[in-house]
Structure formats: structure tokens, C-alpha cells
Amino acid sequence: MKRLRCDQTPAWAALQGHFDARGRAFDLRQAFARDAGRFDDFSQDAPHIFADLSKNLIDTDTQTLLLALAQQCGLAQHRDAMFAGAPINRTEQRAVMHFLLRKPLVAQEEQAQPAIEKVADLTPELARVHATLEAMLAYAELVRSDAAITDIVNIGIGGSDLGPQMAVLALAEFATAGKRLHFVSNIDGDELAGVLGPLQPGKTLFLIASKTFTTLETMTNAHSAKRWFEARGGVDIARHFAALTTNVAAANSFGITTTFGFWDWVGGRYSLWSAIGLPLAIAIGADGFRAFLAGAHAMDAHFRTAELARNLPVRLGLLDVWYRNFHGLASRSVAPYSSALRRWPAYLQQLEMESNGKRVDEDGRPLPFETSPVVWGEPGTNGQHAYFQMLHQGTSVVPVEFVAVRQAARSPNDLPGHHAKLLANVLAQAQALMRGKEDAGGHQAFPGNRPSTFLLLDKLTPASLGALIALQEHRVFVSGAIWGVNSFDQWGVELGKVLARDIEPRLHSGDVAGLDGSTAGLLQRLRG
Ligand code: F6P
């Protein structure tokens, strides 16, 4: 089915009218004063997550119009096409099936629900997914029980680094003792050298994580790691190196025979559920990893089946469109009030900006409206003592997405008094953004009416983290579908890679022929 792009729908024009009439002047404080049921109307449960959307600049009319927009853009059909295995990544002619990586072999809920119209029979693919998953989890258990291996070094970048690193940190409470996990991504040799410094080859396992097995940073680091290993007497590559890749042939020619594969229908930034999740599986074990997949699968089922009005990824994605295209807000700040989630903002940056940072639609036509916001942030409470000044009193309005966790990490990390202070602060920040303070004048005044969303987990567990990540994947799908962009390619990263290949030999030779004045001048300076 041909979908309508958002700006060509009647709902788009209606939303503009609604914004001009009431949206621009919407006041949260008045909305709460008018409507005692606002919290209930604009909050909801989703698998493992409670979401309060009531402190956003929306009323029921806004929500109705946004849902009409979703309908007119064919959101549900596009979602169903993804779940049916259609090649919705049109610029690369690929299906988009990261959801399959977390789907049980027999999904209970599907027996009771009407099947999505089949584009492809995914059963053989699902069998391959599970065969690889079982092999990878068996390997993870082997590594966990191998006392001789103390350090695991994941070498990868982008989706082959951010997801596993974020998740390993987030679930540290569930990690096995006796294994240190390290993540090396930067081509700056300082990073790899710093990690390798104290390690011993005989006690180290390298995981070379790269979907393509061609990425410059990862290949350079992998070669250096192998040289380090061999120079220090390491011999058993099969035992000390494993590759996580769709390009098993390239891993084999590199000399790695222990490989775990995945498929081209998994985008790099959506690959944490595949073999790329091996560091997490080693940390939390096979059962923990299965729980992580199950949490994500529960969110998939919610996204697939909940009515749009009570569908959390849909509501969040539509809110993103409302802020970006009608309020004209250029960024969203993410504030996980959890030290364990400290890499959450970095992870979301790739997920959202690499997916939806596009200026043409799926057919290559330039877009006459804005797409991906800038996503940025730090864990709370740290951000409060850095940039929250700007969030409260700056000239730009920045919606904030808080993540809070009701229960603290288990003892001994649950230090007396800390968690209540953390929770008091997250509540207070959301309250302060909304309420403001106008009784004082000048420098002391806070305008208030600044929106925020509050995502609440009962506890940070493999299952709830899985659900939280899948929620974000699907909300990015929703805004991308409304904008009519292909959320699953990333051509924008290619040009710089090509130019770096041209520049590197010039750094050695000093040849600046054909370069612009600035690049030539800088190159000469860099040569010293
Ligand atoms: O350059 C961007 C990118 O292609 C990301 O999309 C990807 O996650 C990252 O590089 C790493 O790619 P690979 O896993 O193939 O090494």
C-alpha cells in the first residue's frame, strides 16, 4: 500500500490549525487545574513500564488529531509490513526484522490473534535465529565457567558497541563476578592501548563485533589486538578471539574461526538482540539474556496489537512529531535517573539520529519539514548541576524524557538514603519544569510550562531493560513512518569515510593537490 506522507494528509493541516488556535498558548498548569483526570488520561502501563505523558503540551484534541495523522499516514500498515518481513528498508531492499531476534519459537499470543498478512514465511528464518541464539548462549555459558578467562574485550563501534556497552553497564547488578568486560571503539590507539595495558593474553577473550567486518576503526583495532596477542606469546586464536558478524567469510580470512552470525535484515543500531549481544550474555548468563529478549518481545507484542490510542511507542512517536513539526522544538533531552543507565543517552543518539536524521523521504524527495531532533543528555542528578540551568531558564524549550527506577539496586549498592533522594530529585525536576516560579522577578523567575515525559520502571532488570529499548526502537519507527523517511539506512555516514581514505595517504606524503584551502592548511599543520 502506498502511504501518504504526513504533510499531504488532512490531519497535518488540522494539526496546524489546532496549534495556531490553542497549541501555541497551551498551559500545563491550567490544563491540570481544569482537568482532575489529566494524569489518568495521559498516563498508561505498557509491558514493564509505566509512562506519564501528562506533563506534555497536549490535550485530548491534540491526541485525537495526532492519532488521525497516524491513521492517514498508514502507520499501522507500515508496522504490520515490518512484522510481516516486507522489505521496508527500500534503499537497501532489505526487510527489517530485529523483532524476530526476540521472538520465541512458539509465540503464545499469536495463536489468539489474527495473523498479519504474510509477505514472507518467516518460520525458516526464525529457526535459524534460534539455532544461532542457542549456540551463542552455550558459548556465553562456556566463557562464564572458564575461570582462566578474566577479561573480555569487545572491539566494535556504533551499534556494535553502544548497545552492548549500555546494557552491560545497566545490568551490572546481574553480572557474574570474575569477568571484567571492556569496550574499545575509538580508532584512537590510546583507547585500545589503555585497555590492553594491564591484560594478559592467556586470560583475555577478544570479541570482534562488526556487522560488515569492514569498519575501519574495528578492523584497525582488531589487527592491533591480534598483533598484541601474538607478540606476547598468545597462540590459540580460536580460543581467544571470536567474531560477531554477518560477514563470516571476512572473519575467517582475518583468522578467526569462532564466529556467531546474524543477518543483513538486522540494522547495526538494532543488533543488540543478535550475536552482537554476546558481551551481555556473558555478563548476565543465558537465562538473563533470554529474559532480556522476552522483555523486548513483550513490547513488540504491545506495539503490534495495542490500539493506537493506548500504544505507548505510538504515543511517544506522535509526541515527537508534535514537538518537532508544530512547536518547532529542535531537541529532546534524555535524563535517566540511574547511574547504571549512564550510556542510555549515547545509545539513543545513534538509535534516533542515525535512523531519522534524514532530509529526503523514501522516494528521495526533499522534505519540506523537520525530522530527527537532537537527542542528548546525561544521567540525573549529574545533568542538574550542568545544563539544567538552560532547561529551566534558557530561551529554548527542550522536552525532557526522564527515566526513573522505583527500586534501588540490590544490597550492597543500596546505600541508606540515596535512592529516596534520587527519586525526590527526578520528581522535583519534572515538577519545576512544569510549574516554574513567577512570583520572583528577573533572574529568579522560571517561566515553567516546560514539558516532560516520565518513564518509570519498577526495577532495572534484564526484562525491563529489554522492554525499554524496544519501546525506543518502535517510537523511532513511528516518527520515521509519519515523516515518510527510511529509518533503516544510514547513507549520511559514508561521505566522511570515503574522504578519510583519500586523506590518510596525504598525511604521509604531504600531497595537498586538489584539497580546499582549509583542509590543506590543517593537513600541513598536522604533519608538523
Ligand atoms: O558508520 C555507521 C555504521 O555503519 C553504523 O550504522 C554501525 O552501527 C557502525 O557503523 C558499525 O558498523 P559495523 O558493525 O559493520 O562495524
Active-site hit among 352, 354, 378, 473 = 354
H or E element, residue 378: none
pLDDT of residue 115 exceeding 60, the answer is no
Report the share of the chain in percent with pLDDT over 90. 94
Question: At 10, is the pLDDT very low, low, confident or very high (cuts 50, 70, 90)?
Answer: very high
Say if ligand 1 is within 6 A of residue 429 CB: no
Closest CA to 129 of 107, 97, 158: 97
Quickly count: other Cβ atoms within 10 Å of residue 232's Cβ. Answer: 13
Whose cell is 594491564? That residue is 198
CB 221 within 8 A of CB 192: yes
Closest ligand 1 atom to the C-alpha of 157? 11
Distance 125 CA to ligand 1 centre (A): 23
Domains in the chain (CATH in brackets) are 6-72+306-489 (3.40.50.10490), 123-281 (3.40.50.10490), 493-526 (no CATH)
- Give 180's contacts (C-beta < 8 A, 6+ positions apart): 150, 151, 152
Residues 61-74: what's their mean pLDDT?
98
Q: At what angle do helices 517-527 and 494-509 cross, to 10 degrees?
A: 50
Say if ligand 1 is within 6 A of residue 234 CB: no
Q: At what angle do helices 216-231 and 189-196 cross, to 10 degrees?
A: 30
424-468 pLDDT, tens digit each: 999 999 999 999 998 888 999 999 999 999 999 999 999 999 999
Beta bridge partners of 152: 181, 205
pLDDT of residue 121 exceeding 90, the answer is no
Distance 245 CA to ligand 1 centre (A): 11
Distance 187 CA to ligand 1 centre (A): 13
Q: What is the mean pLDDT of the chain?
A: 96
Give CA–CA dist 298/216, Å, rounded: 36
* Residue 107 pLDDT: 58
329-385 pLDDT, tens digit each: 999 999 999 999 999 999 999 999 999 999 999 999 999 999 999 999 999 999 999
Which DSSP string corresponds to 160-188?
GTHHHHHHHHHTGGGPPTT-EEEEE--SS
Say if ligand 1 is within 6 A of residue 160 CB: yes
26-58 pLDDT, tens digit each: 999 999 999 999 999 999 999 999 999 999 999
Distance 513 CA to ligand 1 centre (A): 31
Distance 213 CA to ligand 1 centre (A): 9
443 is catalytic: no
**Which one of 216, 273, 490 would you pick to mutate in the ligand 1 pocket, going by the greatest count of ligand atoms within 8 A of its CB?**
490
Nearest protein Cα to ligand 1, atom 16: 210
Residues 99-109: what's their mean pLDDT?
84
Give CA–CA dist 268/351, Å, rounded: 9
98 is catalytic: no
Q: Is the pTM of this model over 0.75?
A: yes
Q: What end-to-end distance do the CA atoms of the chain give, in Å? A: 59
Say if ligand 1 is within 6 A of residue 493 CB: yes
Closest CA to 74 of 477, 457, 429: 477
Nearest protein Cα to ligand 1, atom 1: 493
